[in-house]
Structure 1
């Protein structure tokens, strides 16, 4: 990951575009198996690595990681389609793998934790299976944040709550442990451009950070977490429109480079080429 943006969405109609990217996302979902039968080794044990690779695969050629509330999945899909239609940018939408995790847990728990006599699930076994699946999901999400060059966080009322912990201060919090973990991971992860990018040569300064985060999720209660968005660049729908207007023929990674130049703090003067940064009027 190289840059992250805290995107405030005030007008969803900005993202109205042909739903071309839906087909790509659907094809990825179809690749996930519907059964566990192919993941047992010769001793009868489940192969966790094989499960992770199949259910939570690392998507190649993903320019952008879209972090969002599960209630904003349709908005995330609209944004992904707009990015693909406008810039040829491919997105990874985190909620697509959340659903995989729930489906996988249901299969495993029905097989190992369900107690037919009482028609209930064994609590200890259920906790154990959940920890395995959620750690695999956490690792997969962290890996995709690292592999994607840019993170877009959809800052909506569904994702963020302004909570007052005292009489004078209101801070941003989230009830989603997944959002909390993704934002925290993105704040520490090593900042670098994609090594696979096919773009014009440009030089950037980079900062190095290391992190390893594990997260757990429980649906029976609510807990709020600090939403670490301070490291993300603030943008809104109008900024995205200006980005599209300024891009001309830039696509893919080149389009992202223009986004960094226009809206990423500290990036305007880090280019080692003949182009000049945009001035206040939006011209070169």
Structure 2
């Protein structure tokens, strides 16, 4: 990760005016990813009937390089899908929406419990599970998911944190608080993770140096996590709109079915868009 930013609903209100267009773009991309995720636990068993976590994570929680990681509350998913669609369609950026991966957490956990921890089916609508076995599955799936998210953050150039009342629920003792353990983990990861300067920026700095000789909602208990996010840079509406207006005619194609076949061309296009954002926002 290189840079982290905080945005609000006001920041992206111009994009939200075109909800139907950009939402459809994101859903199309999400469906491509969704079809790659399988649902057959037997293929993950080792000869000793253990779960092969490496292969399971590759299919259920695939990780790769992205330009932008979007961290948000599930309560804001409708707006996030529009923002993701815009970044894909108009900016040609590779975007990861964190809640997309959350959606498979419950599915995978249910499959594991049905396969290994089901005790009996009381009726048509309820299932009883072994308590210890279910807790063990939950712990392991949580670790697998969290490690996947951390790897994606590390492999993403920038992170956008959608700062809303759904993500930061309240403040006390002069610290913002969130009820989402996923948001807590993601923002903490961005705070402590190594900062990786993109190669194109390193090359630019070296060039200038040579040229100028310079240098889930619960029914009972609710956990609340502190949230240190001062290391993320605020992007206000005016600066974000400046970025929106930046020429994107050559950045309308996305990877996969919509993206160019030339990987280096794609990286240059995405890099130009992100560099313009860094220039507008500043340090």
Q: TM-score range by the shorter chain?
A: 0.7 to 0.9
Matches within 5 A, 1:112-261: 112-116=116-120, 119-165=127-173, 169=174, 171-195=175-199, 201-203=203-205, 219=218, 221-247=221-247, 251-261=269-279
2:69 is equivalent to residue 51 of structure 1 = no
Matches within 5 A, 1:36-47: 36-47=41-52
- Residue 73 of structure 1: aligned partner: 77
- Residue 210 of structure 1: aligned partner: none
- Residue 281 of structure 2: aligned partner: 263
Q: Secondary structure at the match of 2:235?
A: strand
What is the CA-CA distance between 1:34 and the residue it aligns to? 1.7
What is the CA-CA distance between 1:225 and the residue it aligns to? 0.8
Q: Secondary structure at the match of 1:4?
A: strand
Larger proportion of helix = 2
**Aligned equivalents of 2:95, 2:121: Cα separation in 1:** 46
Contact 1:173 1:226 in 2 (8 A): yes
Moved over 3 A (4+): 217-220, 246-251
2:87 is equivalent to residue 83 of structure 1 = yes
Contact 1:68 1:154 in 2 (8 A): yes
Structure 2's unaligned 5+ residue stretches are: 207-215, 252-268
Deviations 1:168-197 (A, max 9, x none): x4x3110000000100000111111345x6
- Change in 2 beyond 3 A, CA 1:90/1:117: closer
Contact 2:26 2:82 in 1 (8 A): no
Contact 2:60 2:104 in 1 (8 A): yes
- Out of 14, 29, 42, the residue aligned to residue 24 of structure 1 is 29
- Matched residues, number: 246
- Change in 2 beyond 3 A, CA 1:162/1:117: closer
Q: Secondary structure at the match of 2:170?
A: strand
TM (norm. structure 1) is 0.79
Q: Secondary structure at the match of 1:87?
A: coil
**Aligned equivalents of 2:282, 2:227: Cα separation in 1:** 20
Structure 1's unaligned 5+ residue stretches are: 205-216, 266-284
What is the CA-CA distance between 1:218 and the residue it aligns to? 8.9
Deviations 1:116-160 (A, max 9, x none): 076422221111101111101011000000000000000011111
- Residue 268 of structure 1: aligned partner: none
CA RMSD, Structure 1 to Structure 2 (Å): 2.3
**Aligned equivalents of 1:218, 1:50: Cα separation in 2:** 30
TM (norm. structure 2) is 0.80
